[in-house]
Amino acid sequence: MQIVKQKQTHWVETAPTATVEEYLMRERTIGGATSIISGRYPVKGYAVNTVSRELVLVLSGDGYIGTPRKKTPIVIGDCILIKPKEKYYWDGHMALFMVCTPVWKSSQHTIVPK
């Protein structure tokens, strides 16, 4: 068992509209983070994770998750599975808990134009 205390987390401001609090585990096959979204992330285009599956739970607030084909409203308690290489964006004011498998790395995250 491993416990990561909140005071041990790593904060990253990914954009003016998003911050991420990473819970860094020794385990490399799964990882977790919280994110606060305040507007649209990414501001333009779409986010893409080229490697990990992301399971996201809306902890508070509401908004949308968008893809090139649709914009879907999301609220507290909704759970979203994002597969590797899917294009998406967040839009709204919400707190999210994200689980990535394998562990998320910045090298596998990219922003692509519309």
Phi, psi of 81 (to 5 degrees): -105, 120
Helices within 1-114 (DSSP H only) = none
Q: What is the CATH number of the domain that holds 87?
A: 2.60.120.10
In a domain, 34, yes or no: yes
Q: What's the domain count of the chain?
A: 1
Query: Is 112 within a domain?
Result: no
| Nearest CA-CA partner of 80 in 46, 57, 49 | 57
pTM of structure = 0.92
User: Has residue 111 been placed in a domain?
Assistant: no
Q: Would you tell me how many other CB atoms lie within 10 Å of the CB of residue 48?
A: 17
Residue-averaged pLDDT of the chain? 94
113 within domain boundaries: no
Residue 69 belongs to what domain range?
6-105
Instruction: Tell me, yes or no, whether 15 lies in a domain.
Output: yes
pLDDT of residue 24: 87
Using the predicted structure, report yes or no on whether residue 28 has a pLDDT greater than 90: no
Tell me the pLDDT tens digit for each residue of 3-22: 999 999 888 888 899 999 99
Residue 19 token pair: 């911050």
Q: Is residue 54 part of a domain?
A: yes
Within-domain flag for 1: no
